[in-house]
Amino acid sequence: MAVMISPVTRALLLLHGFTHTGASWEPVVAALGERYRALTPDIRGHGVASDAEPVTLDAVIDDLVRVAPPRYVLCGYSMGGRLALHLALSRPGTVERLVLIGASPGIADEREREQRRRQDERLAAEIERMAIEEFAQRWAQTPVLAGLSAEPAARAHADRRRSTPSGLARALRGLGTGALPSLWDRLGKLTVPVTLVVGERDQKFRQIAQLMAPAIAKSEVMVVPGAGHAVHLEAFDKVAEIISSQWASSPAG
């Protein structure tokens, strides 16, 4: 009688961006098929975690540590990529590989970071005065997100409506680029392979990725043709392929 051998699955933790939820990863998870055991938590201030407090880096790291297995592949988009960097650096030995999509280590200049914090505070105050539908429509017009085709734009809009204005305002204040410390001077401490994924049309984050790569011992930059900032929404099959290629070259955890 033939013996059926189950394919090896890997643990994968996927961190969404600001205004999204874990549901934004569904097309990527579906494209990965049975090669994964995916965890897609809603980060504090978003989705089912809209009312969770406090919305701080330490609290979010604690949440992620509780849901994550001992070893896993870590992937984050935009805000989720920034949080993924903090998680990987704070818990060395748990992350096998790191895939960052349209991500940044933060703002290195303290004055520039403080200026961004003040801008985020003003925006957070505006968000609190809006209905979620109004904010979702406004956020879709953000320049870095421009150019989404109809289907991914509709999915992103539906996803944003899963959160609340008050939750998103707390997330911006606690997890925004102006709120979190810069990690530029700590990139050299990353010892795991890091793939920096950026869209061809995302000029800002392509430049950031090119600056990040030399500071990381094991890194590669992958530019996805035709895509903008939200690569996992526009080219989910390519993102699944990139994640799978990471698995193929490392032992099971």
Cα–chain center distance at 97: 14
Coil/strand/helix, residue 90: helix
Can you spell out the DSSP letters for 110-159? HHHHHHHHHHHHHHHHHHHTS-HHHHHHHHTT-GGGTT--HHHHHHHHHH
Residue 211: partners with Cβ closer than 8 Å, 6 or more residues away: none
CB 228 within 8 A of CB 234: yes
> What is the rounded CA–CA span in Å between residue 79 and residue 102?
9
Residue 148, CB half-sphere, CA atoms under 13 Å: how many?
A: 22
Question: In which residue are the tokens 């289907």 written?
Answer: 151
The pLDDT tens digits for 142-161 are: 888 878 888 999 999 999 99
Domain residue spans in the chain? 10-248
pLDDT at position 20: 97
Position 4 confidence tier, pLDDT thresholds 50, 70, 90: very low
pLDDT at position 248: 44
The pLDDT tens digits for 156-192 are: 999 999 999 999 999 999 999 999 999 999 999 999 9
CB 33 within 8 A of CB 39: no
The pLDDT tens digits for 203-247 are: 999 999 999 999 999 999 999 999 999 999 999 999 999 998 854
Task: Supply the angle between the helices 165-175 and 79-90 in degrees, to the nearest 10.
Answer: 50
The CATH architecture one would assign to domain 10-248 is: 3-Layer(aba) Sandwich (3.40)
CB 61 within 8 A of CB 74: no
